[in-house]
Amino acid sequence: MSIEDELKGRFRNEYHKGLINLHFTSKLLIYSFEKTLKQHKITEPQYNILKVLRGNISEGPLSIGFLKERMLDKNSDVSRIIDKLLTKNLIKRAENPIDRRQKNIEISESGLSLLGNMDSCELKVDALLSKLNETEIKELNRLLDKIRE
């Protein structure tokens, strides 16, 4: 369905239409993904941190600064998210022995188990874009990268 039909509106030009279309579509995809995450009682920023921790597990404990750099939402309050993940026993936090102002963060066995159970979420996310073939998805990624240049 076209964005005009979806929103029952008109746009002042193709750039405006493109921006609204991108925003609307991203919100739709995020909403679908967050519904899946909600089933596991976890938010998107919490999931993001757990994925970063699991993806860098071989590097050992990570700093909050390292996690902040890799967040999808650069405005996330990583310290607060860490506190929530600690409450859920999904991560471990310890004082850095070299710099006591720093905290070392690592994923717990419970966090690894949760992510293992959630791997199907990623397949659902892939399915959200399944109307595009591999060539189209590569082109979409190229265009999105170009927008951010």
Q: Where are the beta strands (DSSP E) in 17-110?
A: 91-95, 103-107
User: What's the CA gap between 3 and 6, in Å, rounded?
Assistant: 5
Reported as a single tens digit per residue, the pLDDT across 2-38 is 888 888 888 999 999 999 999 999 998 888 888 889 9
The pLDDT assigned to 9 comes to: 81
User: Nearest Cα to 115, choosing from 63, 50, 55, 52?
Assistant: 50
Residue 70 has pLDDT above 80, yes or no: yes
Q: Which domains does the chain have, with CATH numbers?
A: 1-39 (no CATH), 41-148 (1.10.10.10)
Reported as a single tens digit per residue, the pLDDT across 83-136 is 999 999 999 998 878 877 788 999 999 999 999 988 877 787 788 889 999 999
Reported as a single tens digit per residue, the pLDDT across 38-51 is 999 999 999 999 99
Residue 54 has pLDDT above 90, yes or no: yes
Q: Span 46-74, mean pLDDT? A: 91
